[in-house]
Homo-oligomer: A and B are copies of this chain.
Amino acid sequence: MNVAIIGGGAAGMTAASRVKALRPDWNVMVFEKTNFVSHAPCGIPFYVSGIVEYFEELCTYDTSFFKSERGIDVHTNSKVFEVGEGYLLVEEEGKERRYEWDKLLFATGSRAKRLNVKYEELDGVLCVNDISNAEKVKKLALKSEDIVIVGSGYIGVEMAEAVTRLGKKVTVVEIAERPLPEYDAEIAAIIKSEMEKFVNLRLGERVVAFEGKDRVEKVVTNRGEYKCDLAIVAVGVHPNTEIAKNFVKLGKSEAIKTNSKMETSKENVYAAGDCAESLNVVTGKQDWIPLATPANKMGYVAGVNIAGYELHYPGSLKSQITSFYDVEIGKVGLSEHEAIREGYEVISSFITTKSTARYFIDGLIHLKVVAERSGRVLGIQAVGKGVAMRIYAASALLYRGANVRDLFFTDFPYYPPVSRVWDPLVVAARNLFRKLGIP
């Protein structure tokens, strides 16, 4: 059997490994357009700030590991330009080659969105979601005095910390009225205060152009202009589905439609990772959730099914955590505005409390729980101290379809330096009891 996998990122390499583990005698080919496989773009901010010293550390395993240890036929610098029934056309070493497949996996990932404004192609205007320009970003950041970051999603926030740590003057331009706009306003207000200690945060501003002679010199918005030697554009990602779109069905997001076995609309053709849609566990609808952990698990599930066994991917919760200096930030499921947009009738509780026993000197946690009127928990957001462990627990609860009673009664462990007898999650649940008429 010939298995062809387009893309050597998280989903592709996980799937390839899984197929070879279950079917050691099958021929598993991976076609990766860059020089890197199994790369970890989530680490780029830490490489730029210097916490991670060497670029090589961002690649989990190198090509030779996959070839010799796992028996995968890895092709790097190998660009698939045509997909047909049972074959691929690939450009490798300047030549066009044809490969046959019995089973095919799209694992083509995503790419950074562009702003589509004037002079975006100037030198010094860069995106960071691709590992191949991580070194370039770092080199330029080190040489720069002023840096503008466009966008304050997760990557924007993490890059803002990274480059301020290098001692640079940083402006962050965000089109929405708050940073990390997926979060509700109460949570975003805390993030905003923290960011404003370190960067010039310009909210509600739209970038209209870049300017510069040989290279970028300033970013122009609808309300001002900001001098810079480097502009980092981090305004989200888009699924890489150009070569897939005429071959399999795409969803509304333009990512590839899949079922829980990661099968596409065409038999023996699968999709996994950032190029694929999957189920949103909270809404029960198809969604596009381009994150590393779901990508790996989709790859795993795709690999098992490609190998002829059966495993179902239950979907993702869009769980995320990050931090900005001393403030941890995390979210799972829906924020209140997302839930309302989805049509839910919601109740919510926002609390500010210590994350540890009262007599420990630690910070505050600000936590918001959003639930349906039925009591089912739709999402949990937090910012402050002790966020990661609450979002971890919240992910487990949401994955299992918990309601506010479960949130209240889950027996969280108490240890004064890290938690409290009445955990913030439990206190928020108790507040919701009142709104639901639970005594």
Q: Which residues of A contact B (CB under 8 A)?
A: 10, 22, 40, 42-43, 46, 51-52, 57-58, 60, 281, 291-294, 296-297, 304, 307, 309-311, 313-323, 330, 332, 357-360, 388-397, 399-402, 406, 408-419, 421-423, 438-439
* Listed A/B pairs (29) with beta-carbon separation below 8 Å: A40-B416, A42-B414, A43-B357, A291-B414, A292-B414, A293-B412, A293-B413, A293-B421, A297-B411, A307-B439, A313-B409, A317-B411, A320-B413, A320-B414, A321-B414, A322-B415, A323-B415, A332-B413, A388-B413, A388-B418, A392-B393, A393-B395, A395-B413, A396-B396, A396-B410, A396-B412, A399-B406, A400-B400, A400-B401
Beyond A57-B358, A421-B292, is A22–B439 a contact (Cβ under 8 Å)? yes
Please report the C-alpha to C-alpha distance between residue A358 and residue B38 in the assembled complex, in whole angstroms. Answer: 13
Q: Which residues of B lie under 8 Å from residue A42 when comparing CB positions?
A: 357, 414-416, 421
Please report the C-alpha to C-alpha distance between residue A402 and residue B395 in the assembled complex, in whole angstroms. Answer: 13
User: Which residue of chain B has the shortest Cβ distance to A154 in the bound complex?
Assistant: B415
Q: A45 to nearest B CB, angstroms?
A: 9
Please report the C-alpha to C-alpha distance between residue A394 and residue B389 in the assembled complex, in whole angstroms. Answer: 11
User: Which residue of chain B has the shortest Cβ distance to A398 in the bound complex?
Assistant: B411
Residues B389 and A411 in contact, CB atoms below 8 Å apart = no
- Supply 13 further A-B pairs (C-beta < 8 A) apart from A309-B439, A388-B419, A396-B400: A46-B417, A52-B360, A57-B358, A292-B421, A320-B414, A321-B414, A388-B389, A388-B413, A389-B389, A391-B413, A394-B396, A396-B396, A396-B410
Interface centre among A46, A318, A388 (most CB of B within 10 A): A388
Choose one: B314, B358, B390, B408; the contact of A392 (CB below 8 Å): B390
Please report the C-alpha to C-alpha distance between residue A357 and residue B47 in the assembled complex, in whole angstroms. Answer: 13
Choose one: B318, B399, B415; the contact of A321 (CB below 8 Å): B415
Residues B293 and A416 in contact, CB atoms below 8 Å apart = no
Q: Which residues of B lie under 8 Å from residue A417 when comparing CB positions?
A: 46, 51, 323
Choose one: B314, B422, B439; the contact of A310 (CB below 8 Å): B439
Residues B402 and A321 in contact, CB atoms below 8 Å apart = no
Residues A10 and B421 in contact, CB atoms below 8 Å apart = yes
Q: A332 to nearest B CB, angstroms?
A: 7
